[in-house]
Amino acid sequence: MRSAITLIFILIYPFVFGQKITIRDQNSGDPVEGVVLIFQTLNGTYSGQVISNDLGTIELKAVDFPILIKTQHVGYQSYSDTLRTSKDYSIRVVPKKVHLDDFIVTGQFNPQSAEQSVFTVKVIDQEEIKARGAVTLSEALSNTLNIRSSQDLAIGSSGISMQGISGQNVKILLDGIPLVNRNGNGNAADLSQINLNNIERIEIVEGPMAVNYGANALAGVINLISYKDAENTTEISVGLQEETVGSEFGTGEGKHIQSLGIKQQIASRWFGQIGVLHTDFKGFQGNQTGRTKEWNPKEQYQADALIRFIPKNHSFYYRFDFLDETINGLGKSNNNYLSSGENQPFAIDEQYLTQRAIHHIQAEGKLPFLSRYNAFVSYSDFERVKRKMSKNLVTGEEHLTTSEGDQDVSTYKVWEFGGTGYLAFSDVLDLQTGYNLSFEKVGGGRIQEGEQEINDIAIYGSLEWEISDNILVRPGLRLATNSSFGTQLIPSVQIKKPFDGNADLRLSYGRGYRAPSVRELYFEFVDSNHRIFGNENLSPEFSHHFSSNFTKPYEVGNVKSEAGINLFYNSIDDQIGIAQSATDATSTTYVNIDKYKTLGLGVNQKMEWAKLSTSIGISYVGRFNRLDEDQRDDLNKFFYTPELNGNVQYHWTKIRTKINVFYKYTGALRNYIFSEKTAGKQEVTIGEVEGYHWLDLTLSKTFFTHFDMILGARNLLDIQRINNSGVSGGTHSGGASVPVSYGRSYFIKLNYNLKLK
């Protein structure tokens, strides 16, 4: 993994023996291991490739000087020179700001640094996950720009939108494979069910990654990269986290988390690891009384295991991931008088039991005819049982209730097969091709015939072509055929142009699509006031996505800075909406009618002093919604929402303490509801979901070598609910506010890490 990706030219004149070149870090003077050096004599008589050893040394034997060299290392800027005379040299290389851990893989031909990627990749690394005390993905993303989250109190789920596009279009992957959930294969995920206890980093790509990852990534991809290796023979970590929920805390209140992880090099070529996590959220009573709680209690157990075999040039692993979640929603007490006049109150309680198991086998490495390959098989099995029970509060007797939809089992089972091969044709042209087969089986009470299947088969290919002057162009194409909506051809093209001083310009165009969900295809719900049916003839929603991104690092005195500006535009056609059936006026169904666009501008700025690092970002996202073809001209406009975030970290090296501040302002979200007043005249009401500020503060400290401690305060500004003036009246009004959080909470996390060489 540490092998450098290097490209070197060397030109040589005379020929001499046994010279030594030592490569050192310009700042620290330490020798740099793993610098790959390909050299060539100028007269073309001899060329070769050498890698520096742990002393930073490269031996050149029987080489005619002078030679022309150019080095490149993933962690260092490339260095070129002409070495004229035959003698020992010492070369100082300048470290890049990227750390070795900043390798990314999402959509890449080969793991490489985010800086080298042809498209923009945001990384939330281990250090940041830790600094936040983040246990779930929703906590890790809480101040990321262009991501808005939403909470459902009844079932305790947490959803997101990205670039102003709903969560159905955000695809969440675990090591590149869609993470299945109740509503989709990767998309529309419940982020509170995604734990990070064995996740090394989170890679976020905005924009449709449809060529590589297929459907439902119209807004973007969030790829969770798990640990598959350890630096020591044995690593054991034990974690304990205690968190208040608002001001509630105690054995029956608050949030209690325990974790255990063991990593072990079993034999020279074998590695194994296991992990367990237990999260016990006792709920939040808030403004409720008696038995009921505003946020229902939720308990999760998560376990994962990995076994990896690493023969020469290959790596094979099997990973198992399991989640068990129980949500208990206790209902309020209802009076019930018996004929004797005695009161035997009862309550209607709800329970949601979720289990998710993922099996994943993956192989990667080199083959004689491929520079790199990757192949996987995975099987995901998701099941959620919804139970509703009546409970007599005097006798304690319980019964399952019998209303339509009270008892339900939703299942989502997916087989995925995939593979990619990467071939370097020449120094300037690389090719990646791949295939993906996906077989989904979805079941549930309101799905026609109880269960439906969707199969998808795709092949794809991309080229990375360095045209000239380091301009990198990556065109891609995916051909997919789906059992429920036929064949699509999806193109994309990405361009990266570097400028002097490590500045980069990236341009991207992609076509994305969202497959109609099983619910949209096969839903069935009839009661006295509703007749809703799925539509098997739906087409996917298609989007065009354009984005550009420019970043430039620079230094002011000893302050290292980086500035970035980015723009995006999404245009979604045939968006699926609910509409009156064309064939039966008394029922409603899903149709491809709406048009939706989003437009965004963002700027960000990072600055690093010796011990202080800061970043600030602003984004301005517009949403345009056309619900009707005859929409009045003045309604055809974007509604803009600002977002602002800022992070500050101070590293107090002397006492091994880091202080972190995370801030985000999520602006008011405006939308319009239009209604008919008198014939032909429409009236527009503009609704608004209020904006809010979010502030987290953490302090992390390492002590006794083996201990980490994090003290933190989440949601310091104590935001609980925000107003929503867009809610209209009628029987279906759920209150004019939107829940954000249960309020300010404090946590302490203690980690014990044992490392044995």
Partner 1 sequence: MTNSKYTLKLILALVAIGFLNACDGEDDQPKVDPAVSSAIIDAEVGGADQPNQVFIDFSSKRQTVVNRASWDLGFYAGNEFRVILNNPASMLTQAIDKNDLTQVTAEDTVGMGTQMDIDAIFGSLFGAPAEWLPQAQTWIDQPDGSLEGTAIAEISATADQNKVYIINRGKNADGTARGWMKARFLIEGSGYKMQYAEINATTFSELQINKDSDYNFNYVNFNQGLVNVEPESAKWDICFTIFTNLLPIDATSKIPYAYKDFVIQNRANVEIAEVAVADFAYEDFTYTNSTDLSYSSDLATIGSNWRIVAQPGSDQETGVNPDLFYVVQDSDNNYYKLKFTRMLDPISGERGYPQIQYDLLVQ
Q: How far is the CB of 757 from partner 1 (least distance, A)?
A: 15
Least distance between partner 1 and beta carbon 700 (Å): 17
Q: CA dihedral defined by 420, 423, 424, 425, rounded to 10 degrees?
A: -140
Give the C-alpha separation, 749 to 432, whole Å. Answer: 43
Minimum distance from residue 353 beta carbon to partner 1 (Å): 15
Alpha-carbon gap, residue 456 to 210, rounded angstroms: 13
Structure-block tokens of residue 483: 């059992």
Cβ neighbours, 10 Å, residue 43: 12
Cis peptide, bond prior to residue 516, ω within 30 of zero: no
CB of 399 to partner 1, least distance (A): 5
Minimum distance, C-beta of residue 341 to partner 1, in the bound complex (Å): 4
Burial status of residue 342 (CB atoms within 10 A of its CB: 0-12, 13-18, 19 or more)? exposed
Of 267 and 582, CB closest to partner 1: 582
- Kindly tell me which of 102 and 325 has the beta carbon lying closer to partner 1: 325
Nearest CB to partner 1, comparing residues 90 and 636: 636
Instruction: Using the minimum distance from each CB to partner 1, give the nearer residue, 292 or 641.
Output: 292
Q: How many CB atoms lie within 10 A of CB 233?
A: 12
| Alpha helices in 426-547, H assignment, sequence order | 518-522
* Tokens coding 244: 């208040």
167 vs 176 by CB, closer to partner 1? 167
Tell the smallest beta-carbon distance from residue 577 to partner 1 (Å). 7
Q: How far is the CB of 497 from partner 1 (least distance, A)?
A: 46
Structure tokens at 79: 């260095």
Least separation in angstroms between CB 357 and partner 1: 22
- Which residue, chain included where needed, has tokens 């700027």? 603
Residue closer to partner 1, measured from CB, 57 or 328 = 328
Q: Residues with Cβ < 8 Å from 55, sequence gap 6 or more?
A: 22, 31, 33
Q: Which is nearer to partner 1, 388 or 658 (CB)?
A: 388
Type of residue at 375:
A
Beta carbon of residue 576, minimum distance to partner 1 (angstroms, whole number)? 12
Q: How far is CA 134 from CA 138, 181, 191, 256, in A?
A: 8, 21, 12, 13
Of 341 and 501, which CB lies nearer to partner 1 in the complex structure? 341
Amino acid at 172: I
Rounded Cα distance between 164 and 508, Å, is: 18
- In the bound complex, what is the minimum distance in angstroms from residue 385's beta carbon to partner 1? 17
Q: What is the DSSP secondary structure assignment for residue 394, as one 8-state letter?
A: T
Residue (of 10, 12, 18, 14) closest to 87 by Cα position: 18
Sequence-distant (≥ 6) Cβ neighbours of residue 618 within 8 angstroms: 145, 602, 603, 604, 642, 643, 644
Are residues 711 and 705 in contact, defined by beta-carbon separation less than 8 angstroms? no
Q: Which is nearer to partner 1, 471 or 526 (CB)?
A: 526
Minimum distance from residue 696 beta carbon to partner 1 (Å): 23
DSSP assigned state of 101: G
Nearest CA to 408 among 330, 351, 332, 346? Answer: 351
Q: Report the residue number, 552 or 701, with the smaller CB distance to partner 1.
A: 701
H-only helix segments in 177-331: 210-213
Strand 270-281, strand 298-309: pairing: antiparallel
Q: Name the residue nearer to partner 1 (CB basis): 44 or 734.
A: 734
Q: Which is nearer to partner 1, 116 or 166 (CB)?
A: 166
C-alpha torsion sign, points 588, 589, 594, 598: positive
User: Closest approach of Cβ 728 to partner 1, in Å?
Assistant: 6
At its nearest, how many Å lie between partner 1 and the CB of residue 339?
A: 7
Name residues whose C-beta falls within 8 Å of residue 526's C-beta, 6 or more positions apart in sequence.
532
Considering the complex, state which of residue 54 and residue 634 has its C-beta at the smaller distance from partner 1: 634
Q: State the nearest-atom distance from the C-beta of 254 to partner 1, in Å.
A: 10
Q: To the nearest whole angstrom, how small is the minimum distance from the Cβ of residue 103 to partner 1? A: 32
Minimum distance from residue 136 beta carbon to partner 1 (Å): 18
Whether residue 658 contacts residue 624, with contact meaning beta carbons closer than 8 Å, is answered with no
Q: 375 vs 627, which CB is nearer to partner 1?
A: 627
Helix (H) or strand (E) segment spanning residue 132:
helix 126-132
Give the count of beta carbons closer than 10 Å to the beta carbon of residue 403.
Answer: 9
Cα–Cα nearest to 76, from 155, 178, 5, 168: 5
Beta carbon nearer to partner 1, 611 or 656: 656
420: helix, strand or coil:
strand
Q: Are 297 and 308 in contact (CB under 8 A)?
A: no
Write down the residue that tokens 């083959």 correspond to.
367
- Please say which residue, 207 or 275, places its beta carbon nearer to partner 1: 275
C-alpha distances out from residue 199 to 117, 126, 175, 261, 663, Å: 21, 8, 10, 12, 23
- Compute the radius of gyration of the chain from its Cα atoms: 28
